[in-house]
Chain A
Amino acid sequence: MKEFNIDELNRKFQEKIDNDIKIEPKDWMPDDYRQTLIRQISQHAHSEVVGMLPEGNWITRAPNLRRKAVLLAKVQDEAGHGLYLYSAVETLGADREQTIDDLHSGKAKYSSIFNYPTLTWADMGAVGWLVDGAAIMNQVPLCRCSYGPYARAMVRVCKEESFHQRQGFEIMMKLAAGTPEQKAMAQDALNRFWWPALMMFGPNDAESKHTQQSMDWKIKRHTNDELRQQMVDITVPQAEMIGLTIPDPDLKWNEETGHYEYGEIDWDEFWQVVKGNGPCNKDRIDARRKAKEDGLWVRQAANAHAEKRRARNAKKAS
């Protein structure tokens, strides 16, 4: 067997990255690259699964049968995304159950946006439109991520997210064109979700400790601020189109740069929510922990039954 020294391995690895050749599970990769991916993909998986809760909150109260079915299908998609992201984490040698326990113990993070409550039906619109909208902005570049399994998972996820974003916008559009009460409900949802949605892109570039390394590894393709700007530029005209007002008095179009300028984000709130002081952090984690604990006897039964079956089949075969 041919021996490689660590510098040689590193050189070959970076060469692949530079030539846009995907890194696959069995390829050699630096430990830091592996750890960064485990952290990022498991956070992403947790976000999908925790993200089921704020929208799941309105399934039983959806206003008509069609909306109920669409919302069910959407939340179900998020569970599916969680599944293939956990599978992607497993290709890096991490254990799915361990990463889930890390979520429950507070060691692993998930997107802070899901720590905000969904208070009205219009929040189903705002979440789809803004939260899934921001998620797409983050995830489309991840389809070109240097790690193969993650990039491929993202291709499928993005297709579904784009349907989610459209259904959310459609809910908002319908409300905005409805009665004054409905329009007020839509505006209120936009007011509450606008800033948390902008926070979804993470801290300003100057504060972001992981960005540069992730960009060198082509895990990340754009900085947080670039993506945030893209979100603002795309969303503002959409809000205008349906007659809703972005809750930012400093928002203005800059003719020279061709971008919207927007007000200062409340970073204190952001860090407080990340640290656990959001309105729903405890409720979300409690719900996930309860699902796991309540499901323990079911998983044990499934394993025990599979074991008995194997034993019976082996006996039959012998």
Chain B
Amino acid sequence: MENALFEYLLRLGDDSLILGHRLSEWCGHGPVLEEDIALTNLSLDLIGQATSIFDYAGKVEGKGRSEDDLAFLRFDKDYRNLLLVERPNVDFGVTIMRQFLFDAYRKPLFERLVHSSDEMIAAIAAKSLKETKYHLRHSSEWVIRLGDGTEESHNRIQDALNELWKYAAEIFYEDAVDAELKANGVLPDMDSLKSDWDTIVHAVLEEATLTIPDNNWKQEGGRKGLHTEHLGFILAELQYMQRAYPNMEW
């Protein structure tokens, strides 16, 4: 596999970038000012993670691409994020459920990556883990609040769960990239990742009085560059300046 590490970094970085983008769409429109600030905080953390990851990815690739080149100047098929994170915000319920399903994966993921044989990944994971712990606490609390709030909020957050469940399955997509990185210790001890995620998700959903959907279909594609229709519009905004005014400093 040619440059499995680069490919893996794109998966990690694109998840952060695209979810960070989605959350930034909330800025100025949150349900209360406190949540406006909280969602922007999440976005800032994720954009920061993407920056460090792409910076390193550019070095690993060795073609002289900067973090901005990787963030702004690829075509849709070259983005490797989960379909989950490009799903539209819709309302606060969908946004929070999307965040929760993602945080419940990223926290145990970073807990493992801090032991990576790759020192840069270990360092990025250590910093990101601190942030992600807070993110998970925030999204878990809101899932519980909305699930165990009013009838309307319960229905909305249950609908969000039903809607997003099949996308969550892609979190555990694996291919030759993972196999190679596991073999050389870049990805240590990934076997129990899914069961950690299950434990977190079940505990929170139970407290939130929500029901896990019985739909077991896995909607995959993002990790291979096959996206939903939404990514094109995200990129149209994200890349606008870099495409309209190429090769300029900002």
Contacts and interface: CB of A to CB of B under 8 A. Distances in A.
A297 interface: yes
A69 B241 contact: no
B81 interface: no
Contact of A301 (B27, B72, B150, B242): B150
B144 A305 contact: yes
Given A72-B27, A295-B92, A300-B152, 18 more contacts: A49-B33, A52-B36, A56-B27, A59-B27, A61-B237, A63-B248, A67-B250, A75-B40, A76-B27, A79-B28, A174-B250, A295-B32, A296-B31, A298-B32, A298-B92, A299-B31, A301-B153, A308-B148
B27 A52 contact: yes
A3 to B, nearest CB: 42
A241 B36 CA distance: 37
A83 B50 contact: no
Interface string B193-206: 00000000000000
Contacts of B144: 305
Size class of the contact patch on chain B: 35 or more
Interface string A281-318: 00000010011001111111111110010000000000
A38 B71 CA distance: 46
Interface of A: 49, 52-53, 56, 59-69, 72-73, 75-76, 79-80, 82-83, 86, 121, 171, 174-175, 178-179, 181-182, 287, 290-291, 294-305, 308
A298 B41 CA distance: 19
A64 B238 CA distance: 9
Interface in B34-75: 34-37, 40-41, 43-44, 47-48, 50-51, 54, 67-68, 71-72
A181 B247 CA distance: 12
Given A64-B72, A305-B144, A80 B37 contact: yes
Nearest to A50: B28
Contacts of B150: 297, 300-301, 304
B238 A295 contact: no
Given A80-B37, A83-B37, A301-B150, A294 B91 contact: yes
B68 A65 contact: yes
Interface string B82-120: 000000000111000000000000000000000000000
A60 B248 contact: no
B237 A60 contact: yes
19 contacts: A61-B237, A61-B240, A63-B241, A63-B248, A63-B250, A64-B68, A65-B51, A66-B51, A72-B27, A79-B36, A83-B37, A171-B250, A175-B250, A295-B92, A298-B35, A302-B149, A304-B150, A305-B148, A305-B149
A298 B242 contact: no
B250 A287 contact: no
B241 A121 contact: yes
B227 to A, nearest CB: 17
The residue among A49, A73, A302 with the most chain B CB atoms within 10 A of its own CB is A302
A62 B242 CA distance: 9
B149 A301 contact: yes
Contacts of B33: 49, 79, 82-83, 86
B131 to A, nearest CB: 13
B40 A297 contact: no
B161 to A, nearest CB: 15
B37 A69 contact: no
A59 B43 CA distance: 11
Contact of B28 (A52, A67, A303): A52
Interface of B: 21, 24-25, 27-37, 40-41, 43-44, 47-48, 50-51, 54, 67-68, 71-72, 91-93, 144-146, 148-150, 152-153, 156, 237-238, 240-242, 245, 248-250
Contacts of A181: 245, 248
A82 B248 CA distance: 35
Contacts of A182: 245, 248
A61 B30 contact: no
B68 A301 contact: no
Contacts of B36: 52, 76, 79
A86 B91 CA distance: 25
Contacts of B146: 298, 301, 305
Contacts of A290: 29
B245 A76 contact: no
A174 B152 CA distance: 49
A76 B31 contact: no
Contact of A60 (B25, B67, B149): B25
A82 B241 CA distance: 30
B71 A73 contact: no
A285 to B, nearest CB: 13
A294 B28 contact: no
The residue among B27, B68, B153, B249 with the most chain A CB atoms within 10 A of its own CB is B27
Contacts of A178: 248-249
A177 to B, nearest CB: 9
A302 B143 CA distance: 10
A73 B67 CA distance: 19
A62 B44 CA distance: 13
